[in-house]
A and B are shown apart, each in its own frame.
Chain A
Amino acid sequence: MDYFLYLTQMCGIFIILAVGLNLINGMCGQFSLGHAGFWAIGAYTSAAFTVFVAPPLPGFIVLFFGCIIGFITAGIAGLIIGVPCLRLKGDYLAIATLGFGEIIRIVIMNMNSVGGPRGFTGIPQLSNLFWVYLWVVITIVVIANIVRGTHGRAIISIREDEIAAESMGINTFRYKTLAFCVGAGFAGVAGALFSHTTQFISPTNFTFMWSVIILLMIILGGMGSITGAIVGAIILTILPELLRFFGETVSQWRMVIYSIILILLMMIRPTGLFGKHEFNPLKFLKLGGKS
């Protein structure tokens, strides 16, 4: 595949991941460090569907079903993991989700039916620019529409002050779980698109390091901003490629550079680029725009 085409598709996939994680960590304030696990579930279930089960239908229909399967399986995983974990707060929730993310990866690594540690090969390339970005638009519209409604306000109030939210009649556990499952579901979609783009997936694609990279995207962009998540995803997908221009060695120091960026962001600008705000073109051009 053309390299730039590949890069643009990966951008789209990471936008979906970042916007989904932003709903959990940024909007709802629940610190999840296991997002790569849901990504993996979507990737593997959709790939298994395509390779083992799918009837001889046109490619885009198979991919569509793959994405739906990815969404549902990852969403259900979100429910199973969320119900015990979301009773925890702050650091404990982070560690618990990290643990589950790793458990998912270890389980997949032990499943020889999908290739185990050697990976899952032979996935047909059913995805293309159009389908990736169609799902990007769907993800953004769905999540933005949830956020700008009463369910979104409930989710955000949990981040602002959970005790006050409870006192306003909001069932905080229900909405934490909702945010968690929706975020996880879209990570599953991203997984389906990923496996059908790269045609090969293995457990090393879904390590804790990747959960951290997706987290860095939303921290850089601003936790609590959909615009921020999109911008952060684009920057961090393109950055490794830019680093290559500085030579192979610079490129290998990528993770070191990321960790320094992470630390500096927290020390200097913890709100990231956009903070909790969105870039509303109407407001920006002073044409109004309802809040």
Chain B
Amino acid sequence: MDSNISYFFWDLLNYLINGLTQGSIYALVALGYTMVFGIIKLINFAHGEFFMIGAFIGYYCILSGMPFALAMPVAMIGSGIVAVIIERIVYRPIRHAGRIPALITALGISLFFQYAGQMIIGADPKAFPASIENKTYQFGEVYLSTSQILIVTSSIVLMLFLYWLVNFTKMGKAMRATSYNMKAAELMGIDTNKIISFTFFVGAAFAGAAGVLVGLHYGTVDPMMGMIPGLKAFVAAVLGGIGIIPGAVLGGLVLGVAENLVVGFWMATYRDAIAFTILIIILLFKPAGLLGVNRREKV
């Protein structure tokens, strides 16, 4: 093989691996967006902060000596609990108020966590302890690190768990019913408030997991770390079809791969522009997303 082509081939594989890794992170966070939107038609602007909160819980746990295998579930649960608290005291009271007040409220919560985080913890990035022996495996010219494998396998495990939860459990059935028609679900005896809280919990737990994994992989955490990934995960959710769970996974992977291909083959400075560009294109041409169906407003 001509050496240029072979370099291209190896580069491509590496970018794909990076893309799948990054994409898994986006998918985990995007799942939270899409689940909450599916159930109460709210775009939780503050969702990226659950990613950040999970990362910090993991950070403090590991600093205090906890092994990684324990820190990650603790971070997930912690993130989930914060989400449920926020849902109860802020989102629930304004649920009736309309889309714009809900959007503004979510915006307020997002800012609150970012800036309070900066004031309490400090704006400077903290070094995430290397709690896992990070080896790099090499197959030909392809490089794979332990943390990458961990990210992808954790994501797969979590997504399989979610698939089982939504499709094969009573709780999942209740979630699906509530997302199709909340009033009907209530009439069927489903405690929709409980379902909504549970959905927030699971969504935030997934985002928290992503946060810990990112802290481990990239080595730093800071209070603003949720904003850009949060925005990109939102784009991923919209790309796949907001409210559609497989869509979040698809969107996340597509976005991750697209970003890495552009950064690899073109220019790194355009990385963040990819997400915004994809968002604008999707919103203009297929707002229901890749897996979505166009819905008409009833006149």
* CB <8 Å contact, A262 and B103: no
Residue A266 contacts which of B101, B112, B280 (CB distance < 8 angstroms)? B101
* CB <8 Å contact, A31 and B100: yes
**B248 smallest CB distance to A (angstroms):** 16
Question: Which residue numbers of A lie inside 8 Å of B, CB to CB?
Answer: 31, 84-85, 87-88, 90-92, 94-96, 98-100, 102-103, 106, 110, 163, 209, 212, 215, 219, 252-253, 255-256, 258-260, 262-263, 266-267, 270
Q: Which of B71-79, B91-99, B199-207 contacts A (4 or more CB under 8 A)?
A: B91-99
Give the residue among B94, B280, B299 with the most A Cβ atoms within 10 A.
B280
A262 touching B111 in the complex, CB below 8 Å, given contacts A267-B90, A270-B101: yes
CA distance A167 to B231 in the complex (A): 36
A262 touching B269 in the complex, CB below 8 Å, given contacts A92-B287, A99-B276: no
* CB <8 Å contact, B119 and A267: no
> Chain B's interface: helix, strand, loop or mixed, by majority?
helix
* CB <8 Å contact, B115 and A256: yes
**B102 smallest CB distance to A (angstroms):** 8
Q: Does B234 contact A (CB under 8 A)?
A: yes
- CB proximity to A under 8 Å, residues B100-118: 100-105, 107-112, 115-116
CA distance A31 to B107 in the complex (A): 13
**B268 smallest CB distance to A (angstroms):** 13
A92 touching B283 in the complex, CB below 8 Å, given contacts A256-B119, A266-B101: yes
* CB <8 Å contact, B104 and A219: yes
* CB <8 Å contact, A267 and B107: no
Closest to B43 in A: A91
* CB <8 Å contact, A88 and B107: no
**B295 smallest CB distance to A (angstroms):** 12
Count, chain B residues at interface, CB 8 A: 35
CA distance A106 to B272 in the complex (A): 9
**A157 smallest CB distance to B (angstroms):** 16
CA distance A97 to B109 in the complex (A): 20
* CB <8 Å contact, B276 and A266: no
- Digitize B277-298: 1 where CB-to-A-CB distance is under 8 Å, 0 elsewhere: 0011001100100000000010
Residues in chain A near residue B109, CB distance under 8 A = 259, 263
* CB <8 Å contact, B284 and A87: yes
* CB <8 Å contact, A259 and B103: no
A106 touching B112 in the complex, CB below 8 Å, given contacts A84-B280, A266-B97: no
A266 touching B111 in the complex, CB below 8 Å, given contacts A103-B273, A106-B272, A110-B269: no
* CB <8 Å contact, A266 and B115: no
Closest to A92 in B: B283
Closest to B100 in A: A31
Closest to B104 in A: A266
A212 touching B107 in the complex, CB below 8 Å, given contacts A84-B284, A270-B101: yes
* CB <8 Å contact, B97 and A259: no
- Digitize B32-56: 1 where CB-to-A-CB distance is under 8 Å, 0 elsewhere: 0000000000010000000000000
Closest to B93 in A: A267
CA distance A84 to B272 in the complex (A): 20
Residues in chain A near residue B231, CB distance under 8 A = 95, 98
* CB <8 Å contact, A96 and B111: no
CA distance A259 to B106 in the complex (A): 10
* CB <8 Å contact, A258 and B111: yes
A91 touching B108 in the complex, CB below 8 Å, given contacts A96-B280, A103-B276: no
* CB <8 Å contact, B279 and A260: no
Residue B112 contacts which of A90, A94, A259 (CB distance < 8 angstroms)? A259
Residues in chain A near residue B283, CB distance under 8 A = 85, 88, 92, 96
* CB <8 Å contact, B103 and A91: yes
Given contacts A102-B276, A106-B273, 14 further A-B pairs with CB under 8 A are A85-B280, A91-B103, A92-B287, A99-B280, A100-B276, A163-B299, A209-B111, A219-B104, A253-B119, A259-B108, A262-B108, A263-B90, A263-B109, A267-B94
Residues in chain B near residue A84, CB distance under 8 A = 280, 284
**B62 smallest CB distance to A (angstroms):** 27
- Digitize B8-33: 1 where CB-to-A-CB distance is under 8 Å, 0 elsewhere: 00000000000000000000000000
A90 touching B103 in the complex, CB below 8 Å, given contacts A96-B279, A99-B276, A102-B276: yes
Residues in chain A near residue B238, CB distance under 8 A = 92
Residues in chain B near residue A94, CB distance under 8 A = 103
Residues in chain B near residue A255, CB distance under 8 A = 111, 115
Give the residue among A106, A209, A255, A256 with the most B Cβ atoms within 10 A.
A256
- Digitize B55-74: 1 where CB-to-A-CB distance is under 8 Å, 0 elsewhere: 00000000000000000000
Residue A90 contacts which of B99, B108, B284 (CB distance < 8 angstroms)? B99
- Digitize B214-235: 1 where CB-to-A-CB distance is under 8 Å, 0 elsewhere: 0000000000000000010010
Residues in chain A near residue B273, CB distance under 8 A = 103, 106
8 pairs, CB–CB < 8 Å, chain A vs chain B = A90-B100, A90-B103, A91-B103, A96-B280, A106-B273, A262-B105, A266-B101, A270-B97
